[in-house]
Each structure stands twice: as structure tokens, then as C-alpha cells.
A and B are shown apart, each in its own frame.
Chain A
Amino acid sequence: MEKNMKAKTVTPSKGALIPASNGLNPAVLEVLKKGIESGFFSAVLLPVKVPSDDSYAWVLTSQDSLLEKANVLPPVMTVQGGKALSSLTKHGASKMKIAAVMRPCEIRAAIELAKLKQIDLENVLLISMDCPGALPIQNYVDNPIEGEKNFSDAVQNDDVEPMRPTCKTCTHFSITSPDLHIATMGVTGDSILLVPSSAKGHSFLDEVGVNVETDASSWSSEIEKLTEARKSSKQKAVAEIKEQTSGFANFAEVLSKCISCHNCMSVCPVCYCRRCYFESDVSELSTEQYMARSAQKGSIRLSQDVLLFHLGRMSHMTMSCVSCGSCEDACPVDIPIAQIFSAVGDDSQSLFEYIPGMSPDDPLPLRIFSKDKELCDIERICADPLKGCDSK
């Protein structure tokens, strides 16, 4: 396969500076309202406080009364944004133009789902923002008022500690969306910087009447700096989780609390199968198999397929895992499942030099085959095996 790490490393150099003296949310909502008024899009998909004020839900709307309750960067990730956009467009492109405002890992999931034909990005303007992370949903729902405060304090102080484990180690917290990115980190003076990266993004900013003329280098250098710092804390965390799960016995031990609810799978944006293979008849045991296994081993643990399920799910989705952490949020028994999947995802993705969700144009590694370059470091299927892949 082609190595496509090279794609999408160019950071746009200019953006439109927008005043945000009341913070990120009102400033962004203002721009979105202009987008609706100008007719550039008819509605926006974004997180809105639920009526009971104890969480957020994705809402497609153009109505002021709902936009007032919207929060483009809520303290928690409820439904993964990619999943929400899939619900909206999996049966065809939206007829009306919409804008979707999401965290970077949600945008990346949306792009993976587009590749998997579960999202149609036509007529969708994707807007991402610099992401400080999200709180574990359990902590938030325990006390939403305190959760709001903890989150805003953490954002204010650049404190990543209260965020979810995979957020703390995320190195793609500022991945620019294919269309438009909202830059906040390294942007000073009570402002935000709207950085377009596609023709669609540019024409949107034209339409709402803002000029793309501010140099974006203080933002991009800040992101570079933060990413480097994040990489080292990630290294440490990944080493820890690998140590904790290394070898069959340790891995089985970490998963031993699993109650087989499959919540991890059902909230995963990448696990899009309507009927999971591991929930189908083929992976069920017969009465005789249960009894024979028990007789052979002396005793068996139920469910019998805990390891098979997690390893199978891993092998099915690891290449596209965006480390969003939704699986861990949804686990009722607190298995560090996102940390495990994220660490494995990193390894399998780097084997193909693939970063999921960076660009709709990067093909999924397992969908393509390149005779000369395919995994030659492992398989040595090269033009000239004796001389290696670069021998041509």
C-alpha cells in the first residue's frame, strides 16, 4: 500500500481573527448564525444542553432558542459526533447544507465513516476546534453543575488532569478539519482565529464577511509546542498500559470484569456494523461445546467469548481507531478499554503509516494493496527480495 503519512501535514498559514471577549462559545455561535442568515447553510449540528440540564445531545437546528442552549465545546462527549453525523447522512447526502461543529477526534471519526460509506460529506461543512479534552462522563453526570465548573477551570488553567485518560495523551487535539478550524490555543487578545483549509471553508468565511488575513503562526507554533509536550506524557502512559496488559494472563485479568454488555462497541463511532459478527449466531457455542469445554478444563468462565470479542473488535477497527475514549466512558465496570485500544491502534496504524481521519482522500490501509511496498519490512515481498524494497 501507499504510505500516506505525508498527507495533511501542511498547516494553513492564515486565518480570520474574530473577537471573543465573552469566550469561545458566543463568538462561534455568532459566526454560525451569520452562516444561517446568509444561507450558506440551513442548519447546524452541534451539542445542545438537554432539557434537564444534566448533559448534552446533538441537535440539528437553525432556531435561536436552541442555539442559545448550544455549547460548541461541552465538558463531555456524549454521543460521538461522528456517530451523530452518520445517523444523519448514512442513507444519503443531506439535501440541505449543514455545518457540523465537533471536536477533532469526532471530525476524524466522521472522515473514517465517510471512507466506510457511513457518512456522506456532501453538503456538510465540517468545523473543528482546538480541544482541551473532555471530562469522564461519569464524573460529569454525578454533578453537572460542578462538572461545568471543573471543565471551565481546567480549560482556563490549561489543566489536562481532570480530563479522560485518552484525552490526556491525545496528540491530535488540534487536527484541522478538512474545511474550517477554530483556533484558540496560542491566540491572544480575547479572540479566536478561524482557519480555513478548503475552498468550502474559504467561501464560508467570505460569505460571512470576515477576512482571512491574520498570520496563524503563533497558533501553529503553540500547537507544535503543546504536541511535543503531549507526546512525552503519552509515551509514559502508553508504556504503563502496555505493561499492565502485556501477555495473555495480564490482558485477561484486565478484561476479567467485563460483563459483555458490548457498550464499548455500541458507542464506538468506527464499529458501524448493524449486527456485530461477535453477536451473531456463528460466534455462539452449542450446549455440547459449553459442556465439553467445561469437562476438558475443569471449569469455564462465562461469557466464553470475552477475549474473542475484544480482540476481534480490536482487529476489526484498530486501523481506524481515533482514540476518542467513548468506549471507556460507556464501560459500566471501568475497564481502561480506550487506553488499550488507543495504544494498539497507534501501533497498527504506524505499521501502515496511517493516521485515521486526517483526510477523506487517504485510503483505508486494508482496502488497498501495493505489491512492491506492502509490509515489506515484515513479509519481504519485494521486487527484489535480496536487495529489499528500495532496489528498483
Chain B
Amino acid sequence: MKKFLTIKGDADTAIQGLLRSLLEKGEVGAVFGLGKSGDAISYLVISDPAKIDSLCPTLPFMPANAANHLSKITAGGNLAEKIAVVIKPCELRGFAELVKRESGSPKNLLFISPVCGGVLDFDTFYKGDRDKELSAYWNDVYSNEIPSNIRPTCSICEYFEPFNADITFQPTTEGCELYSNTPAGVGMLESYGEKLSEGKLDNSRIEKLSSARLSNREKFFDGLKLEEMEIKGLVEAFGKCLGCHGCSSVCPICYCALCAFEAKENEFKPEIFEKELAKRGGVRVPPNTVFFHLGRIAHMAVSCVGCGMCSDACPVDIPVASIFTRAGDAVQKVFDYIPGEKFDEPVPLSTFIEDELTEVEDS
């Protein structure tokens, strides 16, 4: 049984109230979360309790994977005061993967994460009728359906209940339920000043949604036909790629300061172009379009959390996230690995067990 708190009223206001009280009582030095800045939505760090009402804790939108911001704020592990972090489950998973790569530290972070219904994609959020889209979204979420206007990778996400959260929250039609998962979580809920109840998250609801998403996932992956793609299929899928590498720059896992595929080693002297031209009769310039995407898959698939940022950042609508999530799923299954499930589990490719992968390696 977990301690939990139900706050009546608007869910955003409820979470804001909890966070305000944490700040006012000095339980935390700052709050991190999605909020309004002008007309736009960005991540904010808030120290002044009076500014808490600009937070949008339940807004189904992801302008950046929060893991990237948290990594910058906490790299070095010198955070001296506590921050309450409102973060979506896949962002928290992305952050855990970065922590494993020594690109961030969970020290002094208290995580508050929702049972996530998914997020609207950029075009729907910025170009659509936002109020209408949001109301359709919440209708679907409250009736335990998968919203139709979320990112494709959200609709197949099986880990929409957070790992590693101190508090898991679930907006309801009446308000917000907040469940503590750790002693720190209990402490935060207690500081709100209302009596806590004992209970647990309604698993039947989550299980039902989970099985719907999993069957979605199967159909979705089958439809991609990644196994049959081969080089020809990849050339077709990535043919319109502009080479902006936006997919890599917004990816929480792509943490390299200088990507190997942007390094000098991947630029070529004129002689090489000439040689390739003689061999094939034509060379795409700049070269290595498919190589970049395949290379990126090889580098990050084992940790891909399927957040969908890459697809949203793609200016030419290549379904990058769908392809990468599918590849990630396959690689992660080989290693029985759920990226971001734990903070202290080694990344599979950084460990070696002598008798591993025998089924693949033909011993």
C-alpha cells in the first residue's frame, strides 16, 4: 500500500499547489517543469513560489525532451539544493540513460511524473485548434482510450507509468491523485498539510490501456516492415533527408559533443568522390545520408526511449521515431533491457558476459 493524496479541482492547480507549498516551506529550492513563457511553452526553472502558476504540469506537450535540460543542469553532480522535477515518464527514462553515461546526476532531484496519456505533436499543438485538440485528448484519456492526436510513438508506448518517480500522479475528472513511491515522495506529500490515504494506483485501468497500446504496437511495427526494408527501403525512407541532423540534436540519447557523423572523418577529399563516381555512375552530395541514420541507430538504439522528439524535429516528416523505436525494441529485447528503468543498471554495450548472445553468435 502506498500513501496517496487526492486534491480536488483542476489537476494543474492541484499540482501547482503542492509545488508552491514545497517551495514556500523550503523543502525544495526550485521546481523544474513545463510552463508558459509568453505564448509559447517551454521548460522552466522556478524559484519564486509566486511564479508557480505559470507551470503546466499536465499539458500533453513536449517541446524538448526534458532529459536534455536536466542533463545540462545537473552534469557534474554539484547540485546543492533540492529540485522538484515534473517530468514525463519517457523523459525520466531518457535522463536515467544520460546519468548512466555520466551526463547528468539524479542527486537532489525529486521526480514527480504522470501516468502519461501521450503528447500532441508539434503541428497539432501549434497549427491546430489547440483548445479543441486538448479537450478531445482529455476526453479520450478520461475514458481510458488512446487519444487519436498524439505522437505515433506515444500511441504505442508501453511504459507510460513512470519508473523512478518519487511521486506518480494521475489527473482525473475530479482533480489529481498523487501516489508516493519513495520516502522522499511521502515527505513531499506530507508537506502539503493534508491527511494522506493508503491505497494504490488503479492497476486495472493501466493494464487495460497497456494491453491496448501493446496491440497497437504490434500492428504498428508489423506495418513498418522494417525487416524487409533492406538498403533499398532505407534509401527510400530517408531519401528526402536534408541532413540537418535535427533528429540527433533533439535526441536525449545522442549526447556526444561532436557526433562521429559530423566529424572530419566523414568528410571526403575530391579523389574519393571521383572514385565513387567511377564506380557507381553517380554520387549523392553530401554523401552518407543513410549511413548517418544507420550509424545513429547503431549508437543509440539500445537506449532509445521512443519519446518521438526526432520525428517532431524533422522538417520533412520522415517517420524517424517510428523506425528508431522499432529498431530499439529489437535491440533491447536481445539484451532484456528496458532503457531508463533503473538509474544504476549498466548499459548493455558497456558490459560483457563471456557466454552472452550465444543464440546469435553461432558458438
Interface, chain A (partner B; CB < 8 A):
43, 45, 48, 50-52, 54-55, 57-63, 65-66, 78-79, 83-85, 87-96, 137-138, 141-142, 252-253, 256-257, 259-263, 266-267, 274-275, 279, 281, 284-288, 290-291, 293-295, 298-303, 329-334
Contact = CB atoms under 8 A, between A and B. Distances in A.
B240 A141 contact: yes
B267 A91 contact: yes
Nearest to B236: A52
A263 B313 contact: yes
B193 interface: no
B45 A256 contact: no
Contacts of B282: 48, 59-61, 63, 66
13 contacts: A52-B237, A55-B240, A94-B273, A96-B274, A141-B317, A256-B38, A261-B244, A261-B313, A287-B79, A288-B78, A299-B44, A302-B69, A332-B122
A331 B127 CA distance: 14
B174 to A, nearest CB: 29
B269 interface: yes
B17 interface: no
> B235, B242, B317: which has the most chain A beta carbons within 10 Å?
B242
Interface in B319-337: none
Contact of A287 (B42, B73, B236): B73
B132 interface: no
B50 A95 contact: no
A243 to B, nearest CB: 17
A51 B239 contact: yes
Contact of B45 (A54, A89, A299): A299
> A138, A253, A256, A261: which has the most chain B beta carbons within 10 Å?
A261
A261 B250 contact: yes
Nearest to A144: B240
B245 A266 contact: yes
Interface string B20-43: 000000000110000101111011
Given A90-B267, A274-B262, A295-B29, 16 more contacts: A50-B240, A51-B232, A57-B284, A58-B285, A66-B282, A79-B286, A84-B286, A88-B270, A94-B270, A257-B63, A257-B126, A287-B78, A291-B47, A295-B47, A301-B43, A330-B246
B267 to A, nearest CB: 6
Contact of B285 (A87, A253, A288): A87
B72 interface: yes
A45 B286 CA distance: 11
Contact of A59 (B44, B47, B51, B285): B285
A298 B239 contact: no
Contact of A299 (B47, B236, B263, B264): B47
B69 A303 contact: yes
Nearest to B284: A57
Interface residues of B, number: 72
A94 B79 CA distance: 52
Contact of A262 (B235, B249, B274, B283): B249
B277 interface: yes
A52 B239 contact: yes
B313 to A, nearest CB: 5
Contact of B74 (A78, A85, A287): A287
Contacts of A52: 235-237, 239-240
B38 A79 contact: no
A264 to B, nearest CB: 9
Contacts of A260: 64
B233 to A, nearest CB: 10
Contacts of B80: 287-288, 291
A95 B246 CA distance: 33
Nearest to A64: B281
Interface of B: 29-30, 35, 37-40, 42-48, 50-51, 54, 63-64, 69, 72-76, 78-81, 122, 126-127, 232, 235-237, 239-240, 242-246, 249-250, 257-258, 262-264, 267-271, 273-274, 277, 281-287, 289, 312-317
Nearest to B66: A302
Nearest to A78: B242
A79 to B, nearest CB: 6
A294 B239 contact: no
Task: Across the A-B interface, give the 8 residue pairs with the lowest CB-CB distance, nearest first.
Answer: A298-B48, A50-B239, A55-B240, A61-B282, A256-B40, A87-B286, A63-B281, A52-B236
Given A51-B239, A256-B38, A290-B73, A299 B273 contact: no
B122 A333 contact: yes
Contacts of A329: 242, 315
B126 A334 contact: yes
Contacts of A286: 76, 78
A89 B270 CA distance: 6
A266 B250 contact: no
Nearest to B121: A332
B281 A61 contact: yes
Contacts of B48: 298-299
Contacts of A54: 239-240
Given A58-B284, A60-B282, A299 B54 contact: yes
Contact of B235 (A51, A60, A91): A51
B126 A259 contact: no
Given A141-B240, A290-B73, A256 B274 contact: no
Contact of B39 (A83, A87, A253, A331): A253
Nearest to A50: B239
B315 A91 contact: no
Nearest to B281: A63
A299 B51 contact: yes
Contacts of B232: 51
A302 B42 contact: yes
A288 to B, nearest CB: 7
A392 B119 CA distance: 68
B249 A261 contact: yes
B273 A88 contact: yes
Nearest to B40: A256
Contacts of A333: 122, 126
Nearest to B32: A302
Contact of B46 (A84, A142, A294): A294
A330 B269 contact: no
Contacts of B316: 55, 137-138, 141
A263 B247 CA distance: 9
A62 B273 CA distance: 13
Contact of A79 (B78, B127, B242): B242
Contacts of A43: 277
Nearest to B50: A298
B51 to A, nearest CB: 4
Nearest to A334: B126
Given A95-B271, A256-B39, A267 B126 contact: no
A92 B273 CA distance: 12
